[in-house]
């Protein structure tokens, strides 16, 4: 496995890499969710690049950039064990060199949900992914359905800017009790960790209601709020029942939809989602 710290080292490593090439962008603190992306890339490509970069541009000023968990030695060991060919783990100035002055800003799909809750977040995501796509020029890149809106934003960007990398989405990997794996879970206290199963419970409750014939968006959002309210440690930021293509809130579910939510446990912010139909 080659470790590249600079753009130049990355280009040198890529020169010898087999094709097709798969890219798995991450912010490190790797878990089984990341592993599932790496495994899929390894199956579908002849070489895999994992990037490890905690992207300051996608964190708001008051957010958790400084508290984001990091353990590069452990991440590198996981990548080696998973058969990754190249790890790109650059310092901030290699991704954003002096003079860097471009922001990629995706339109309507980036506005609701996470875009509304975290102003500037998707500009940061789209910009860093554009840089990574440009540097790696992979045939395919793999993202998690756990961040459903993120995949949609990146797809839109790649399509609109005629990027040659195909954007692929992989299922959410969960703990046995339903909690979606996330690097942020490590910051939960034991009590918060136990309470955090409420995200998935709320999604399943709303999905079950829908399966029994409930099509009202308000009823499905209300069901998620009701379940979340049973957990005193959970502070609900938003619940959503949206059109799966536009992410605009639905009055009635009549086609593919996405249930999603964002919940705070102390300062730890968790998101999850569940498709309908």
Task: State which of positions 211-270 bind ligand AMP (CB under 6 A).
Answer: none
> Does residue 157 belong to the site contacting ligand AMP (CB under 6 A)?
no
By CB under 6 A, the count of residues binding ligand AMP is 17
Decide whether 4 or 181 has the Cβ nearer to ligand AMP.
181
> Does residue 149 belong to the site contacting ligand AMP (CB under 6 A)?
no
> Does residue 172 belong to the site contacting ligand AMP (CB under 6 A)?
yes
- Quick one: which segment of 29-37, 92-100, 234-242, 244-252 binds ligand AMP (CB under 6 A)? 29-37
Q: How far is the CB of 15 from ligand AMP (least distance, A)?
A: 26
Instruction: Establish whether 34 is a catalytic residue.
Output: yes
Query: Among 187, 149, 175, which residue's Cα sits nearest to residue 270?
Result: 187
Query: Among 27, 11, 22, which residue's Cα sits nearest to residue 128?
Result: 27
- DSSP line for 123-163: HHHHHHHHHHHHHH--SEEEEEGGGHHHHHHHHHHHHHTT-
> Does residue 146 belong to the site contacting ligand AMP (CB under 6 A)?
yes
> Does residue 37 belong to the site contacting ligand AMP (CB under 6 A)?
yes
Q: Evaluate whether 25 touches 16 at the Cβ level (below 8 Å).
A: no
- Quick one: which segment of 64-72, 108-116, 143-151, 212-220 binds ligand AMP (CB under 6 A)? 143-151
> Position of tokens 């496995």?
1
> Does residue 181 belong to the site contacting ligand AMP (CB under 6 A)?
yes
Among 38, 86, 173, 259, binds ligand AMP (CB under 6 A): 173
Q: How far is the CB of 180 from ligand AMP (least distance, A)?
A: 5
Evaluate the omega torsion of the peptide bond into residue 20 and state whether it is cis, within 30 degrees of 0.
Answer: yes
> Does residue 187 belong to the site contacting ligand AMP (CB under 6 A)?
no
Distance CA 204, CA 209 (A): 8
Among 36, 48, 127, 185, binds ligand AMP (CB under 6 A): 36
Q: Evaluate whether 243 touches 250 at the Cβ level (below 8 Å).
A: yes
Among 21, 23, 33, 239, binds ligand AMP (CB under 6 A): 33
Count CA within 13 A, CB hemisphere, residue 255: 7
Query: Among 111, 114, 108, 136, which residue's Cα sits nearest to residue 41?
Result: 136
Per annotation, catalytic residue among 34, 121, 200, 210: 34
From its phi and psi, is residue 151 left (phi > 0), alpha (psi between -120 and 50) or beta? Answer: alpha
Neighbour count for residue 83 (Cβ, 10 Å): 12
Q: How far is the CB of 68 from ligand AMP (least distance, A)?
A: 9
> Does residue 182 belong to the site contacting ligand AMP (CB under 6 A)?
yes
Question: Which residues have a catalytic role annotated?
Answer: 34
Binding site for ligand AMP (CB under 6 A): 26-27, 33-34, 36-37, 143-144, 146-147, 170, 172-173, 180-183
């Amino acid at each position: 496995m080659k470790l590249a710290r600079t753009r130049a080292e990355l280009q040198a490593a890529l020169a010898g890499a087999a094709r097709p090439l798969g890219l798995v962008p991450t912010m490190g603190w790797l878990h089984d969710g990341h592993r599932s992306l790496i495994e899929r890339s390894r199956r579908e490509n002849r070489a895999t690049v994992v990037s490890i970069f905690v992207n300051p541009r996608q964190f708001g000023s008051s957010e958790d950039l400084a508290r984001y968990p990091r353990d590069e030695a452990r991440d590198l060991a996981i990548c080696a064990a998973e058969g990754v060919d190249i790890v790109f783990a650059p310092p901030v100035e290699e991704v954003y060199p002096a003079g860097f002055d471009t922001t990629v800003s995706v339109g309507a799909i980036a506005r609701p949900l996470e875009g509304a809750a975290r102003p500037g977040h998707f500009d940061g995501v789209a910009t860093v992914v554009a840089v990574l796509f440009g540097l790696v020029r992979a045939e395919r890149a793999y993202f998690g359905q756990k961040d459903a809106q993120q995949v949609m934003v990146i797809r839109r960007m790649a399509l609109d800017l005629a990027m040659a990398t195909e954007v692929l989405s992989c299922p959410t990997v969960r703990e046995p009790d339903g909690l979606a794996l996330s690097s942020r879970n490590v910051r939960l206290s034991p009590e918060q960790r136990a309470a955090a199963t409420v995200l998935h419970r709320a999604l399943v409750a709303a999905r079950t209601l829908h399966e029994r014939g409930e099509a009202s968006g308000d009823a499905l959002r209300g069901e998620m709020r009701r379940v979340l309210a049973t957990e005193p440690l959970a502070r609900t930021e938003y619940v959503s029942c949206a059109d799966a293509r536009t992410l605009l809130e639905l009055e009635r579910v009549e086609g593919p939809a996405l249930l999603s939510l964002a919940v705070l446990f102390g300062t730890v912010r968790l998101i999850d989602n569940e498709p309908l139909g």
